[in-house]
């Protein structure tokens, strides 16, 4: 075997970033990926007929306010400036998310101005607790009960498979709420999709003479037959790392139904959320809208849509979203204590840290981990 100084287990965005930084610092890095290709859940495929870049594991939009992260990823790809907008279907009508003046005025048939919105929402919130104890109380304090019941409650039940009263208040804090007509879903002005596709980002991150990539290799199995005493950066599920000895952590998984439709534009935007209980999926993606600069793709007489169905995770499923509850935090602490006893181990990424990170957060965490290692 060639000289190896470091192993990176998992070629998602966290692992590929770690590998690149360490390689540029002179380390010989072996990247082991259990799938057939790198990229983790950001991996895409191209529809041969239409040229549409399909986000295989659900839509991913890169957005950030972090200067160092933006500078780093722009070394490898150029972004197209796509600005993410999300629509929501409720009771047969379509509304703009996020929750702001556009949605409030359309929903209530009003014409509120920015100074008027906070007082209106406070009135709608009624006697919401000053210190919300759960997801539902937090949501009502943010937007009032009518909007919560229309756009949040049933969508959340589908997404998490739980009563919102049993979810922590922290989850709803990711939801954009603003007193303006801004319908961009994310507040970050640095947004976009790589012009050459997400796969090119991973290919270029790993394109370094000090990096060796081996796919179809699960490090958890590989380590049983290979005794390399080198540091390991691991980004798989932390409970799997220790053989589920305290039991599996709860995750939410997803199931996707992808369909080619013989129309040039099926829904007019990239993502529509379906907030009502009688619709079994949470959202529909239409991927061609992520590349408006590709005029030939946009004009193609077919499109690709994808319905997203949340599901309870079971062994063998892909874990997507950590379920943050007091019980899961207690179990996570046991696994983190185990990891802390391993001197040559760094655990990171969404799966390793059991955190709901956006892509830019994963890159930022990876940059920090690699910098700490090489300091």
255 is catalytic: no
Quick check: 29 and 206 in contact, CB under 8 A?
A: no
- The percentage of the chain sitting over the pLDDT mark of 70, rounded to a whole number, equals 99
What pLDDT was estimated at residue 289?
Answer: 98
Question: Would you call 159 exposed, middle or buried from its count of C-beta atoms within 10 A (0-12, 13-18, 19+)?
Answer: buried
- pLDDT tens digits for 232-270? 999 999 999 999 999 999 999 999 999 999 999 999 999
Over 80: is that where the pLDDT of 2 sits?
A: no
350 is catalytic: no
What strands, in cross-sheet order, belong to the sheet with 6-9? Answer: 211-215, 29-33, 6-9, 232-234, 345-347
Q: Return all residues near 319 (Cβ < 8 A) that are at least 6 apart.
A: 237, 251, 252, 253, 313, 351
pTM to 2 decimals?
A: 0.94
Quick check: 25 and 209 in contact, CB under 8 A?
A: no
Quick check: 360 and 64 in contact, CB under 8 A?
A: yes
Catalytic residue among 308, 335, 350, 354: 308
Question: Would you call 48 exposed, middle or buried from its count of C-beta atoms within 10 A (0-12, 13-18, 19+)?
Answer: exposed
198 is catalytic: no
27 is catalytic: no
- What CA–CA distance (Å, rounded) separates 194 from 202? 11
Residue 21, SS3?
A: helix
What pLDDT was estimated at residue 324?
Answer: 85
Phi-psi region of 225 (alpha: psi -120 to 50; beta: other; left: phi over 0): alpha
- What CA–CA distance (Å, rounded) separates 17 from 219? 18
Q: Where are the alpha helices (DSSP H) in the chain?
A: 13-24, 67-73, 101-108, 117-125, 135-143, 145-147, 153-160, 198-205, 219-225, 238-241, 295-299, 326-340, 349-353, 359-374
Catalytic residue among 178, 204, 223, 307: 178
What pLDDT was estimated at residue 122?
Answer: 87
Catalytic residue among 283, 286, 335, 357: 283
What token pair was written down for 108?
């209530």
- pLDDT tens digits for 206-236? 999 999 999 999 999 999 998 888 999 999 9
Catalytic residue among 20, 252, 286, 290: 252
- pLDDT tens digits for 338-375? 999 999 999 999 999 999 899 999 999 999 999 999 98
203 is catalytic: no
* Mean pLDDT of the 62-91 span: 97
Catalytic residue among 174, 227, 278, 296: 174
318 is catalytic: no
User: What would you report as the CA-atom Rg of the chain, rounded to the nearest whole angstrom?
Assistant: 22
Over 60: is that where the pLDDT of 1 sits?
A: no
């Amino acid at each position: 075997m060639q000289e190896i100084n470091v192993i990176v287990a998992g070629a998602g965005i966290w692992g590929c970033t770690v590998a690149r930084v360490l390689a540029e610092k002179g380390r010989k890095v072996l990247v082991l990926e259990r799938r057939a290709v790198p990229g983790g859940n950001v991996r895409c495929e191209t529809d041969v007929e239409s040229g549409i870049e399909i986000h295989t594991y659900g839509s991913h939009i890169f957005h950030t306010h972090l200067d160092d992260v933006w500078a780093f990823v722009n070394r490898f790809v150029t972004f197209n400036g796509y600005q993410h907008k999300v629509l929501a279907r409720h009771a047969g009508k379509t509304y703009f998310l996020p929750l702001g003046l556009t949605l409030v005025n359309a929903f209530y048939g009003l014409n509120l101005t920015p100074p008027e919105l906070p007082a209106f929402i406070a009135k709608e919130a009624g006697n919401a607790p000053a210190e919300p104890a759960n997801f539902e109380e937090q949501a009502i304090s943010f937007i009032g009960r009518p909007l919560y019941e229309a756009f949040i409650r049933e969508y959340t039940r589908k997404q998490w498979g739980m009563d919102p009263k049993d979810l922590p208040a922290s989850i709803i804090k990711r939801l954009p709420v603003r007193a303006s007509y801004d319908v961009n879903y994310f507040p970050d002005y640095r947004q976009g999709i790589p012009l050459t596709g997400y796969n090119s980002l991973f290919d270029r991150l790993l394109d370094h003479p000090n990096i060796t990539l081996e796919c179809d290799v699960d490090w958890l199995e590989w380590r049983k037959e290979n005794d390399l005493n080198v540091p390991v950066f691991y980004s798989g599920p932390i409970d799997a790392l220790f053989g589920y000895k305290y039991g599996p952590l709860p995750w939410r998984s997803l199931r996707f139904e992808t369909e080619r439709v013989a129309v040039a534009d099926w829904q007019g935007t990239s993502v529509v959320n379906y907030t009502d209980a009688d619709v079994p999926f949470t959202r529909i993606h239409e991927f061609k809208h992520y590349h408006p600069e590709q005029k030939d793709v946009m004009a193609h007489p077919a499109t690709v849509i994808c319905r997203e169905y949340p599901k309870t995770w079971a062994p063998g499923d892909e874990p997507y979203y950590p379920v943050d509850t007091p019980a899961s935090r207690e179990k996570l602490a046991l696994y983190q204590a185990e990891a802390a006893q391993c001197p040559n181990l760094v655990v990171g990424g969404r799966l390793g840290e059991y955190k709901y990170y956006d892509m830019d957060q994963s890159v930022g965490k990876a940059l920090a981990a690699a910098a700490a290692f090489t300091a």
